[in-house]
Amino acid sequence: MSHSKRLPILGAAALFVTLGAIASPASAAKAKPKNPSAAKRPAKAPKASSINAYDVFLAATKLAVDQQKVGFALSKNHNSGDPLDRVYTLEEKTQLIQENASALAKLRAGFAYTYHNPPVRSFTTMMPYYKEFRAMGRLLALEADVANEKKDTRTAINSSLDAIQLGEMIQRDSPVIGMLVGVACQAIGRRPLHDMIITPDFGADGTKEGAQRLSRIMALHVPYTEILKIEKQANITSAKELYSHPSIAVQAAQTAGGSDDSNGQEEAARQMFAMMLQSDKDQVITSYENQMDSLIERYGQPYDSTLIPISRQSDPLSLSTYKLIYESRFKDVTSEMSSRCMMTMLALRAYFADHKSYPATLQALTPEYLPRVPGDPFAQDAPLHYSVTGDGLNGYSLYSIGPDKNDDGGNPAVNPSAKSENTKMILYPDSLGDFNAFLNHY
């Protein structure tokens, strides 16, 4: 995923486990998932079946090899000092994909089924599978890179879309941490596709089908309010367990810290659990439930960049999570907006190949290339902004008004707190300007 601001200290069952903690070998050792189910070859549409895509995806991760090499091969920066961290040749990257052919086939088999995330009912719940799913997203992105280098545009598009579909699917029945990993998988998948489509010699093969497929993938999107309902239930159930069995606080805090607690998450979790146990159970749970109901109602409305104020006298659960929930909502909206921009760019490339020019309006893309004109998630009842600006493959402007909700004519959003040129074009909640589909990234 593109660079993002570090999330604040977390306190909820699914939230205080950072992505790093999920990824830790120690976490995986403590809670091994059950043996995954076998799955048949997928059909084009999800089957009405007892098979859970979660089990199929998990089985795929067990077949994957050399995931560290995959990550380094995909990276554009090589400064970790690890011997494996270097520039990989096309032949080496191709070999990595071939070695993981069975894992990729198994993963794609899971697309035929509906995903249901295992329920989270305790602050001690380990979720190492999220790290493995994100690694599969990187593998798909590397496959897209390899296909693009070989001028196989159709395969490159579909490999990128596979990563986006994986990211959308794993959010179903997931708490907020699952949504964040899903957003990360989508960003990983969009990156090679964005790099390809803004290249002047990018081919049109598969672009029309890609735009239509991305539209179907986006129909799988789980509303953020549904994510919050899962989060609310997970934390209420976990809190009740904590009050019934206070001794689990130590294990729960260790779960929060993971094997490498460089961010002090374990100590922050210890403090939160201590505050909870010193407070009245019914008051804490009732307060948290009311705070979450307010957030669910608020985030069911059009995007608003204002951070909801919260009293410092609120319950420990609400205090530890409300800011993260606000920032995660921004990530959800931004991810959806980015996919809509990508879908539109694919459709425009297909239209250009057919007509040797771009349409005067996005309405001309419907219904042949897209089922409808994509809306702007940052705007209320308004489409993405589009205009023809010149000749050639990149002769158009496409943008969202962005989190400041002002139409700046496509002038790219700038991060006012950026510390380097590499980060100033990344979109943040306080970025000023429009999300320019060519120049900004997330």
What phi and psi values does residue 21 have, to the nearest 5 degrees?
-65, -40
Contact predicate 142/93, CB 8 Å = yes
Q: Is the dihedral of CA 37, 41, 44, 50 positive or negative?
A: negative
Match 């297909």 to its residue by tokens.
Answer: 350
What pLDDT is stored for residue 124 in this prediction?
93
Contact predicate 156/144, CB 8 Å = yes
Nearest-5° Cα angle at 346, 4 to 154:
100
Contact predicate 320/9, CB 8 Å = yes
How far is residue 191's CA from residue 261's CA, in Å, rounded to a whole number? Answer: 29
Question: Measured between alpha carbons, how far is residue 368 from residues 116, 158, 210, 345, 418 in Å?
Answer: 33, 19, 13, 14, 41
How far is residue 440's CA from residue 442's CA, in Å, rounded to a whole number? Answer: 7
What pLDDT is stored for residue 314 in this prediction?
85
SS (H, E, C) 99-117: HCHHHHHHHHHHHHCCCCC
CA quadruple 306, 310, 315, 316: dihedral, nearest 10: 60
In tens digits, the chain (442 residues) has pLDDT values of: 333 333 333 334 444 443 333 433 333 333 333 333 333 334 454 555 689 999 999 999 999 999 999 999 999 889 888 999 999 999 999 999 999 999 999 999 999 999 999 999 999 999 999 999 999 999 999 999 999 999 999 999 999 999 999 999 999 999 999 999 999 999 999 999 999 998 888 889 999 999 999 999 999 999 999 999 999 999 999 999 999 999 999 999 888 877 665 567 889 889 999 999 999 999 999 999 999 999 999 999 999 888 877 777 789 999 988 889 999 999 999 999 999 999 999 999 999 999 999 999 999 999 999 999 999 999 988 999 999 998 877 899 999 999 999 999 999 998 877 777 778 888 988 889 999 999 988 7
What pLDDT is stored for residue 37 in this prediction?
36
What residues contact residue 232 under an 8 Å CB cut-off, 6+ apart? Answer: 288, 289, 292, 293, 296
How far is residue 242's CA from residue 252's CA, in Å, rounded to a whole number? Answer: 9
Neighbours of 368 (CB within 10 A): 13
**Strand, helix or coil at 252?**
helix
Contact predicate 413/425, CB 8 Å = yes
Q: Cα 290 from chain centroid?
A: 27
How far is residue 429's CA from residue 438's CA, in Å, rounded to a whole number? Answer: 19
**Structure tokens, 217:** 């993938």
Which uninterrupted H or E stretch holds 400?
Answer: strand 396-400
Distance between terminal CA atoms of the chain?
A: 8
What pLDDT is stored for residue 18 in this prediction?
39
What count of residues does the chain have? Answer: 442
Q: At what angle do helices 90-99 and 67-74 cross, to 10 degrees?
A: 140
417 burial level (CB within 10 Å; 0-12, 13-18, 19+):
exposed
How far is residue 120's CA from residue 241's CA, in Å, rounded to a whole number? Answer: 12
